Structure 1
Amino acid sequence: MSEVFEGYERQYCEISASLSRKCTAASSLLGEKLKQKASEIKSGIDGAEALIRKMDLEARNLQPSVRAGLLAKLREYKSDLNNLKGTLKRITTGNAQQGTREELLESGMADTLVVSADQRSRLLRTTEKQNQTTDRIRDSHSTMLETEDLGVSILHDLHQQRQSLLRANDTLHSVDDNISKSRRIMGAMVRRMDRNKWIIGLIVTLLVLAILVILYFKFVH
């Protein structure tokens, strides 16, 4: 629920309860005192109407899933305010103190006030439950944010590990290239040694043949 809506709602419930008490007190007044009290009640009703308009505007700017519940509460608040208006009208149209009391009793003012009080009590209990639900939602949201931060931290660590593995892979490729180069060099050296062996063998063979030829000519001739 919107914190702005909750603030308006608390103000309205306080004003409504105050207006109900003032209506009860005004039912026993006459003359100028009654006019002053009625004017005070009328001013309070105007303020309550302004709060309802603000709540209505705030509710319509919220998500549909939240908006429906708030608009249902607003209808109850509007009904409660209409009851207060009717009560004020019945008080101000009375002429005498006793006649006013009898008229109010006959028209069911007492019942209306009791119903309004019960209605406000029920609305306050509903508001308290919704506030508790809102607190649980906020706690869940906080837990979700903490989990998200933990997930981001884990992803960051995994990214660093991936970079380390990539660097290690590059190092391995470099070592592999060096090994390949070393193999090629060793192969070239082995081939050169084999060629040198053949050359040395050929030279030794030629020397042996030359010695044999020399010996042949020496002993034969």
Structure 2
Amino acid sequence: MSEVFEGYERQYCELSANLSRKCHSAGLLAAGEQKKQQVSELKEGLDDADVLIRKMDLEARSLQPSVKAMLLAKLREYKSDLNNLKREVKKLTSGNSSQAAHEELLESGMADTQAVSVNQRERLAMSTERLNQSSDRIKESRRTMLETEDLGVSILEDLHQQRETLLHSHKKLHGVDDAIDKSKKVLSAMSRRMTRNKWIVCSIIGALILAIILILYFKISHH
């Protein structure tokens, strides 16, 4: 989650709690200068809260989609809380000036408003906790995804190395095949030469035998 958003969020929660307490205190005051002063301070506080809401909105929209959706959901809760505070302040400024209406506001209206505000705070706290848990799960999922991605890259690198090894082995085998073919050709040529030489030797031996027979024949016939 964005640290900038968290900073604005802390400021808003503190300001919202302070404005809620001031609304309750102003509601207990009778019409007069003191109440006007309280209402004026409340309006200034609401303006500051509006500024923080706008800053959180701009910061949330500048983040990644997964985080952006989570923060905008949280921001809707804060906007609803701020609208409730504005309605409470509006009630303070537009109330009936009669004492009876003022007492009724003190006894019933303000009590209901305070109860609603407390319930709203509780819902905001629960929503914040759920969103924080969702943020933690998103971070864990992202970490797991990055680890899986690293593992996939490592596997692809191993497969690439194995492929290179296989291609190298294939080239070696191809070289061995070429050497065998060359050896076979040399052996065939040697075999042919041996066969040719064998016939030449046999021819020479045959010619010598024939010459010896002729010599012996002439010698015998002259005697």
**Which TM-score band applies after superposition, normalised by the shorter structure?**
0.7 to 0.9
Provide, for residues 66-106 of structure 1, a one-character-per-residue CA deviation record: whole Å limited to 9, x for no partner.
74x7666555433432332232233345699x778515236
1:140-193 deviations in Å (ceiling 9; x for gaps): 110111111011011111111211111111111112111111111111011101
My pick for the range that moved more, 161-170 or 76-85, is 76-85
Matches within 5 A, 1:96-175: 102-105=103-106, 108-175=109-176
TM-score, with structure 1 as normaliser: 0.82
CA distance 1:72–1:100, shift in 2 (3 Å) = farther
Q: Name the TM-score, length of structure 2 as normaliser.
A: 0.82
Tell whether 2:12 aligns with 1:22.
Answer: no
Q: Does the Cα contact within 8 Å between 1:90 and 1:104 map onto a contact in 2?
A: no
Pairs within 5 Å for 1:54-69:
54-57=55-58, 63=65, 67=69
Task: Name which of structure 1's ranges 159-168 and 198-207 shifts more when overlaid on structure 2.
Answer: 159-168
Q: Which runs of 5+ in 1 are unaligned?
A: none
Q: Is residue 20–residue 84 contact of structure 1 (8 Å, CA) maintained in 2?
A: yes
CA RMSD of aligned residues (A): 3.1
Alignment-derived partner of residue 214 in structure 2: 213
1:192 equivalent to 2:183? Answer no
Question: In structure 2, what is the Cα distance between the partners aligned to 1:91 and 1:189?
Answer: 119
Cα distance in structure 2, aligned partners of 1:19 and 1:125: 20
Shift of 1:54: 3.7
The 1:8/1:36 distance shift into structure 2, 3 A limit, reads: same
Secondary structure of the equivalent of 1:108? Answer: helix
Query: What does residue range 73-84 of structure 1 map to in structure 2 within 5 Å?
Result: 74-84=75-85
Does the 8 Å contact 1:13/1:124 carry over to 2? no
Structure 2: runs of 5+ lacking an equivalent: none
**Separation in 1 of the partners of 2:10 and 2:191?**
96
